[in-house]
Structure 1
Amino acid sequence: MDPNLLYWKTKGQSFSSRLQTWLNLLDPTLLLASEPEIQKAHTLLGRVEDLGKEDEAAVTLSLSSVHDDSGAPLPLFFRAPAVIPFSGLMVVASLVPHSKVTLSLSWQFLLQSYWAGFNFANRNSSSEQQGAKTSLRQLVLMAGTISYTACVATLPQIMINRLNVRSPPIQTFCRTVLPIPLSAALAFFNVFAIRSDESETGIQVFDQHGNLVGVSKAAGKQAVKETALSRAVLFGTTAALPHLLLLLLKRTRLFQRNSLLIMPVRHASTLLFLSLMLPVSFSLFPQLGTIKKETLEEELQAGAAGPHLFYHRGL
């Protein structure tokens, strides 16, 4: 088991401890570290059993920059600290009502492309550890997922423009209400589709001592489901809270007299809620998940020691 996973096993089993850890891991300055520094931090995490306060920087760098299966540094754009700097503008622009379908589609395409890449880079890579390589099927599936989610996310704008909707209540519904469940559903689908191989081929499961027991499809399905749910919470909440905030602010005299304040407040609040919800969504489920022995495949139950096994959930 990778040193990162061993750390999550001892330190990341409660929501509060995971949240505190992710608040540190999302620091954008961690992106400035070089690959030799990252590898050194990862090696230190694997060698030192009793980590002190002087080792906290190395632990944070390793957890934020190294893949928990392969032990290799993650692509810079798809590390956890890079999410806000690289996708924050995309999220804000994708949730803002646009006058043209092409503009809305462009921002959705960029957003869905980034998160498809993030989901793929941070997946459970058990199949790659067994010698399998990224197949043409996976690349086609990724391209199809990006195209499908981008087009579906643009539906509210298409409905308004193509159907020539002029009714204010319907326009309000399409621009403010419909994007909320749509954002959550598409975020769920993006993870579910991009990481479908984990459910079909299975992922590695470990016993309580970190020893490899085998490959389980049941664990793969649970890992994908948990991650997809956490992503749906992230995008659904980020889409909903700015609208609720604006509904309250529009009742105040300040916003009734200064309607120009609405747009900058919408942008700033969307980015704020995204930043606040990101560590929460990453902390909803343990990074090193557990699965009951009886839910595993029969051939694995015989070799499993203890009532449950562990698996890398991915991010």
Structure 2
Amino acid sequence: MDPNLLYWKDHGQSLFSRLRIWVSLLDPVSLLASDAEIQKAHTLLGSGEKVDEKDGDPVILSLSSVHADSGAALPLVFRPPALFPVSGPLVFASFLPHSTVKPALFVQLLLQSYNAGFSHANRNSSSEQGKQMSVKQLLLMAGAVSYATCVGALPQILVNRLRVRSAAIQTFCRLILPIPLSAAVAFISVLTVRREEAETGIQVFDSSGNPVGLSKAAGEKAVRETALSRAALFGVSGAVPNLLVLFLHRRRFFQRNSLLVTPLRHISAAVVLGLMIPVSFSLFPQLGTIKKEMVKEELKAAAGDGLLYYHRGL
């Protein structure tokens, strides 16, 4: 088992402990580290040796930058600390009231492409080691991005194509409808991009960290948990700023000073997204467990304590 997964096994089984770890891991300063520094940190974490202060914290650098299946450094823009700096501006832009459909589609295309890339880079790749990306996987990602782009821009499409003039319907399309759509799109995107994990299975481990085989049930559980966490991230991040705008529009002070609503919306969106990223990452353990009753017969004997472990991905 990879040193990253062993660390999560020892320190990340409770929600509070996972949240505390993720708050540290999402420090964007770690993005400045070179691949050599990252690999050194990963090696130090696996060796268990005492670390010199000049080497920094190998735990933070390894967990935030190394893929737990391949042991290789993640692409810079798809590392967890890069999620907020990259996706934050795109999320804000996606909730803006665009004058035409094209800008809405363009912003959604950028946002959904990045989300699909992040999900793919941080997937469980235990069954794909040494293999190149298949044509099927490319088609799944392209389909997920295309579908998510169109659905994400649906509120703007409805307003423009139907020529909606009613203030109430415009408010519904721009502030209410994007909330469930954001959660649904995020959920379906993860399910689609990581579909092969459920079809081919992912590596499961016994309580000692030894690999015992591939399990489709574990793959389905890992993908489903990640999809739920991503839906929570974008659903809540869209709900709070939009509902805040609805609330402020009913207050007389903001009716007289409507220009204050927009900056408050952007500030609340930034705060909520920043808070929800570690919360959503912490909802389910990185090293998940599955009961032996749920796996195929030949793997049950390895579940000495009744459980097998798997890397959930992100």
Fold shared per TM-score above 0.5? yes
Normalised TM-score (structure 1): 0.96
Deviation at 1:156, TM superposition (A): 1.0
Between 1:48-57 and 1:287-296, the stretch displaced more is 48-57
Which residue pairs with 1:140 in the alignment? 139
AA aligned opposite 2:3? P
**Residues 218 and 207 (structure 1 numbering): CA distance in 2 closer, same or farther, change over 3 Å?**
same
**Residues 271 and 202 (structure 1 numbering): CA distance in 2 closer, same or farther, change over 3 Å?**
same
Q: In the aligned structure 1, how far is the partner of 2:8 from the partner of 2:262?
A: 41
Q: In the aligned structure 2, how far is the partner of 1:39 from the partner of 1:187?
A: 31
Deviation at 1:60, TM superposition (A): 0.3
Between 1:106-115 and 1:238-247, the stretch displaced more is 238-247
**Residues 134 and 158 (structure 1 numbering): CA distance in 2 closer, same or farther, change over 3 Å?**
same
Number of matched pairs: 314
Say whether residues 1:218 and 2:222 are aligned partners: no
AA aligned opposite 2:46? G
Which runs of no fewer than 5 residues in structure 1 stay unpaired? none
Normalised TM-score (structure 2): 0.96
| 1:76-123 deviation line (CA, Å, top 9, x unaligned) | 000000011111100000112211100000000000000000000000
Q: In the aligned structure 2, how far is the partner of 1:263 from the partner of 1:18?
A: 34
Which residue pairs with 1:62 in the alignment? 62
Q: In the aligned structure 2, how far is the partner of 1:55 from the partner of 1:209?
A: 29
The equivalences for 1:182-201 within 5 A come to 182-201=181-200
**Residues 49 and 238 (structure 1 numbering): CA distance in 2 closer, same or farther, change over 3 Å?**
same
AA aligned opposite 1:76? L
AA aligned opposite 1:121? A
Contact 2:77 2:86 (8 Å CA) reproduced: yes
Q: In the aligned structure 1, how far is the partner of 2:304 from the partner of 2:56?
A: 32
**Residues 205 and 50 (structure 1 numbering): CA distance in 2 closer, same or farther, change over 3 Å?**
farther
| 1:111-150 deviation line (CA, Å, top 9, x unaligned) | 0000000000000001222x43210111111111101110
Deviation at 1:245, TM superposition (A): 2.1
**Residues 109 and 265 (structure 1 numbering): CA distance in 2 closer, same or farther, change over 3 Å?**
same
Other structure's SS at 2:310 match: strand
**Residues 156 and 251 (structure 1 numbering): CA distance in 2 closer, same or farther, change over 3 Å?**
closer
Which residue pairs with 1:294 in the alignment? 293
Contact 2:175 2:243 (8 Å CA) reproduced: no
Q: In the aligned structure 1, how far is the partner of 2:135 from the partner of 2:24?
A: 37
AA aligned opposite 2:286? Q
Contact 2:206 2:302 (8 Å CA) reproduced: no
Say whether residues 1:71 and 2:50 are aligned partners: no
Which residue pairs with 1:150 in the alignment? 149
List structure 1 runs of 4+ shifted beyond 6 angstroms: 49-56
Contact 2:207 2:303 (8 Å CA) reproduced: no
Deviation at 1:300, TM superposition (A): 1.2
Between 1:105-114 and 1:137-146, the stretch displaced more is 137-146
Contact 1:213 1:304 (8 Å CA) reproduced: no
Deviation at 1:51, TM superposition (A): 7.6
AA aligned opposite 1:83? L
AA aligned opposite 1:72? A
Q: In the aligned structure 2, how far is the partner of 1:159 from the partner of 1:247?
A: 20
Q: In the aligned structure 1, how far is the partner of 2:92 from the partner of 2:37?
A: 33
AA aligned opposite 1:239? G
Contact 2:51 2:57 (8 Å CA) reproduced: no
What is the Cα-based RMSD across aligned positions, in Å?
1.6
Contact 2:127 2:214 (8 Å CA) reproduced: no
Contact 2:141 2:193 (8 Å CA) reproduced: yes
Which residue pairs with 1:312 in the alignment? 311
Q: In the aligned structure 1, how far is the partner of 2:89 from the partner of 2:76?
A: 17
Q: In the aligned structure 2, how far is the partner of 1:55 from the partner of 1:31?
A: 15
The equivalences for 1:1-315 within 5 A come to 1-48=1-48, 57-129=57-129, 131-315=130-314
Q: In the aligned structure 2, how far is the partner of 1:70 from the partner of 1:307?
A: 27
Deviation at 1:304, TM superposition (A): 2.9
Which runs of no fewer than 5 residues in structure 2 stay unpaired? none
Q: In the aligned structure 2, how far is the partner of 1:17 from the partner of 1:216?
A: 27
Q: In the aligned structure 2, how far is the partner of 1:178 from the partner of 1:253?
A: 25
- Aligned identity (percent) is 65
Deviation at 1:250, TM superposition (A): 3.4
Deviation at 1:56, TM superposition (A): 6.9
Other structure's SS at 1:290 match: strand
| 1:129-174 deviation line (CA, Å, top 9, x unaligned) | 2x43210111111111101110111111111111111111111111
